[in-house]
Structure 1
Amino acid sequence: IPWIIIIPFVLGLLYKENMLIIATALIFNILFNIILQKPDYIIFASMYIVLCAGAGLFLADSIKNLKTN
């Protein structure tokens, strides 16, 4: 399982700010690719990060719903 799924999963369990978690992951992706001088990779990596972070947040939300029911 990629770390980009595990970290949002844990943060999603602890916090309710899902959009902030995704935005932070995207900002760090952009900065990381600028530092590595790979600006053409930003678009592909951003789509991957949104997909994986969304999956982690979805799993965290599902577990929260199991706890309340």
Structure 2
Amino acid sequence: MIFADLLRRYRTAAGLSQVELAERAGMSAQAISGLERGRRDLGSCRWQRATSSAAKTSWRC
């Protein structure tokens, strides 16, 4: 499983839309969409923020 699939799986399991996840992660909905499609290459900190927000855990960067 690639990271983009993992992010989508966490987000949908949490019952969040891309907009809701973006708000929690301090990112744009377009960034979340791009991450889930594998079209955005963000630093590890932003990936961690997105997945932690979807999984409802905290992040540190």
Higher relative contact order (CA 8 A, sep 6+): 1
Normalising by structure 2, we get a TM-score of 0.32
Q: Which has the higher helix share?
A: 1
Which of 1 and 2 has greater Rg? 1
Normalising by structure 1, we get a TM-score of 0.29
